[in-house]
Amino acid sequence: MTKSEGKGPAIERKKENEYRINDISESPKPKTFVEVTIVGKDKKGIVADTTNYIFKHGGNIEKINQNVVKGLFGMHLEASFPAIDKVRMKDELETLGKKLQMEVKVHFHEESKVKNVAILVSKEDHCLLKILNSHVAGEIKCNISLIIGSDEKLKAVADSFRIPFFYVKHVEQSEAEREILQLIEKFDIDLIVLARYMRILTPNFVWRYPNRIINIHPSLLPAFPGAFAYVQAYERGAKIIGCTAHFVTEDLDQGPIIIQESFKVLQEDTLETIKVKGQLAEAFALFEAVKLFLEDKLEVNWGKVSYK
């Protein structure tokens, strides 16, 4: 047995001019994962130009998805790179977007990074309070960077937790979404949580953050979609009611399901007692879904969520 000088690996001589390395101390180089979303008027060459850029820079495409609705094109691409200059890549992809006359967003994902979270709310506070209190208790690890409200009612809650609150009026949905997108970009948000946010996001918004927007819906989807799920369930005499935490897609309340919670409807239950039980279930289910996301335990394939 001979050893190389210094701290190199041990080498065993087997035969003439044949050696075997017994141990190698070098670990695999970490990869950088990049998400690229492109949104704009549909035209030729978008996919080809984008994928060519990835390949020319040594990237490997992990996932790619594209869709067209009423002339609006949306594409989401995930790629991995052994080593990249992030600033340069972001600039080059945004330049490519200008050439294509498309809006390009670049998001770098690093497993070691503490994720930035934005919470969107309206008037109900039960889901928001569950997440905020759990964060204070150390049950989830993240930066809750801001809270965005379609109403000013929950500003006091945000202030009490010393989290920036932004009130965005929704007179015109496109204008409201433009303002929200600017805030999401400014705070470098990794996850958007809809904590009983009572507005329907358009494809123009949703396509920019595929599998990064989590919503809580007050029914066991796919049953009873829409805003009055508990009323529908009560009027139909449902014996088991619940809620669903899911990723948001362009199809209302049809996104990949993450967590579901349910409870039995008792003979003495009224619509009001059902709503109270539902709110408890909603808060728990949304928190669990957010926790799984922050711990990188969710994987979405073919519209279905699996746990890592």
Q: Could you give the residue numbers annotated as active site?
A: 253
The H or E element that residue 178 is part of is helix 173-186
Residue at 295: amino acid letter: E
Neighbour count for residue 190 (Cβ, 10 Å): 23
Q: Report the distance separating Cα 214 and Cα 79, nearest Å.
A: 22
**Which residues 6+ apart lie within 8 Å of 296 measured at CB?**
111, 308
Residue at 11: amino acid letter: I
Work out whether strand 116-121 and strand 191-194 pair parallel, antiparallel, or are unpaired. Answer: parallel
The conformation of residue 299, written as its DSSP 8-state character, comes to: E
Q: Report the distance separating Cα 261 and Cα 110, nearest Å.
A: 31
- SS3 state at 288: helix
Q: Report the distance separating Cα 25 and Cα 46, nearest Å.
A: 43
Task: Take residue 283 and report the two structure tokens written for it.
Answer: 């808060």
The conformation of residue 250, written as its DSSP 8-state character, comes to: S
